[in-house]
Chain A
Amino acid sequence: MSNDVMIYANDLSKSFGTFRALDKINFEVKRGEIVGFLGPNGAGKSTTMRILTCFISPTSGTVRVNGHDVFDAPLQVRENLGYLPQRAPLYLEMSVLEYLRFAADLRNLDADTFRKRAKSVVEVCGLAQVLGREIRHLSHGYRQRVGLAQALIHDPPILILDEPTSDLDPNEKAEFLDYLKQIGEQRTVMLSTHNLAEVEASCARAIIVSRGRIVADGPLDDIRAKSGRVRYVVSVQESSGTAGYKGRGEPPKKSEVQSAFGAVGGVKKIDELPTDERAHAFELVSDRDVDLRPDVFRVAADKGWVLLELHRDAQTLEDVFRSLTIGDERRNRQLGPDGDGRDEEDDAGADDQADAPPREGSRDRHEKTASDRS
């Protein structure tokens, strides 16, 4: 059982001076898993990956990769890994083939194995056309592919990819994600990204980090269910336009619509959505277990309004991600580098007060998900 844990991090912390980049994070990744490592910029994704690859050392905590400790056996850890750092930093003056050979040499592959591995890696990364070209003349997309190719050259059991798709165009991205599923069958893959669509396309599990802490960790469906909320979109005709008003009496005013829908039982929150002058559109948020659609329809029908749209959205991963991490981003922006700026930021302080309730809410959710997990 413990054999199947490929990446193990226990109470992992990292401080840069007084800044805590990682604060006691715990996670495990098992053989054959593809894990999306998510978080806003500066949340600690790259730091974690650099610790896993022994580029930097943790301040405290235990990390084992395929059973090897990062302190005691960094070379064995690295032998078990293929790593693609952010933005694929490669030696620009080398040709693709030279670079792959250099990586293979350092990985101690003999000429025969190299030939075999290079052939398959070049094929899957689509590098056949550019093998002889200097890396400096390649586009960023191709450089990223070369970076991936060097990470795969020694057929490692674990792949760590730091924002592997950031420089790819949409076609390349789709291709890459397909490919990732393919190679992920026998390997453990950990990829960091802030593109949630990619995680939904390729990973079964996600770890969401924010300000150096794990705020959610689990199968995507569980994470989606985390917030336990459902969102409805309703729009009501506001003016006749060219087609003429089809409702009873005068078209309703915005405030009328808002208060009527806001009064429906089960509505937690109502927000206006942007539309043109022909409709009033609102977003209603409710708990998961009640369906508001019949009540909303009833209200509109009783008032004689024309219902243009009514649908229900399950919360997307993106919403969950935002709700889990947004409080932190907001706080980052307010505090900035020089701490609690008192005098000149009185106005900001007032905004801060206004924003306080939702932020408190999201903080609570952090605590809850963190405790759910453990």
Chain B
Amino acid sequence: MAEFFGNYVPQWLAYLLAALVHCALLINVVAVGALGFIWLERKVAGRIQDRLGPTRVGGKFGWLQTLADGLKLLTKEDLMPEGADALLFRLAPYVSFCASFCAYFALPFSDGWVAVELNTGVFFILAVMGLEVFGVILAGYASASKWSLFGGMREAAQVVSYEVPMGMCVVVPVLIAGTMDLVEIGRMQGGWFTNWLIFHDPFTFITFWVYFTCAMASVNRAPFDLAEAESELVAGFHTEYSGLRWSFFFMAEYGSMFAVSGLAAILFFGGWNGPLPISHWLGLTYENGPVAGYLGNFLGMLNFIFKCVAWVTFMMWARWTLPRLRIDQVMKVCLKYCVPIAAVMFLGAIGWTYMLPDKMIGRPYAERVLEDGLPRPSGSVAASERNAPHGVPPRAVAGAELGQSAVGAENKHGGQAMPRYAATRYAATRYAATGASPGRQRRSDLTDHSRPGSAPATESASRPAGLVARAAERN
């Protein structure tokens, strides 16, 4: 896009415009999403409370209610309390919003449709969502009001405490997938819904619910919403905010809700892959041409958004159903329940993948990949079968891909398609290209790092070569 603009304006302006267009597209997701979610929240709240919710603005269902609310907020007087620290008071909503928005940089909406494909995607999202707490603290302090300060402190303590079990819960699918790259994790769950990581083993299943609880606490949704406890603290840390500043806090909250739901969808529910491989059945893959591939990706994006909205609706359902927890109950849930359960699930997931290697259920995914081949991504362009259901892809695919990586194409995907548990296998695939004999000699010293009961290191080093040979003789 920058090159296109560069034909008309100086180069720096071209890049600036391209960056602005991309940012505008991403902000639209957050802003329009918030618009939709506020309406949805009011409708869901109404129905749960046995009433209708907004019905007047924009037809029978009140579609445009949020727009009317937004207009009202824009026209409100811009107040600031007298003792407030002016700079910090003005800055706090934007800090919260930026932190929530930055999570969308690394969140893929479909195969390859991500702003920045980060190698440490999961880690980056967790890190920037933890920065939202600064906006809250600043808002609480800068409002020069006791209610705000108490609300801000409580919320900061809660968010920071719940980052710990949330991190531990997120590590479980990362260790099963072997990569922190969200696009790779999504690709691995292609095919039928049995490939989804939530159904990989019972530990992952429980981990998802613990993750969801921690995510709800982390974005301050009920029943963990003491910071905005309307019945106790007036409105907590955003008591003194009105008009457009307040709406930034709300956009940040709904943006964070969508982001943690998106993370849950990718890590546990296959992301853009549907429960059934419909894109593959309809032939909407890149194999059949770029348009078909684009449509397949678009369908995947709709799938992803549907999953996110479903989980956001679940959060709203929980909010309007469950009573609010006290701060000591919140801390108790975190430290006495979530952290130990997450730790046990982590150990259990490790144990499952290592102690049950031969069974079909819970067989390490990477070993399945070695034997049966990787389900090919729909986004990349290569001349082999796409989105095949689990177990069907030909070995030639795996052999060709592994052979390519072993020969040293150093393709990032080729290098990371290999199982990542055993140091031996990682060394074999990443550094087999160098073929240095010291490397080969070192590998024998690394035998104790391999899985119990697996083949000795030298054999696993030659495994890619073996598969290449098998692929060669098959072709």
Answer whether A and B are interacting partners: no
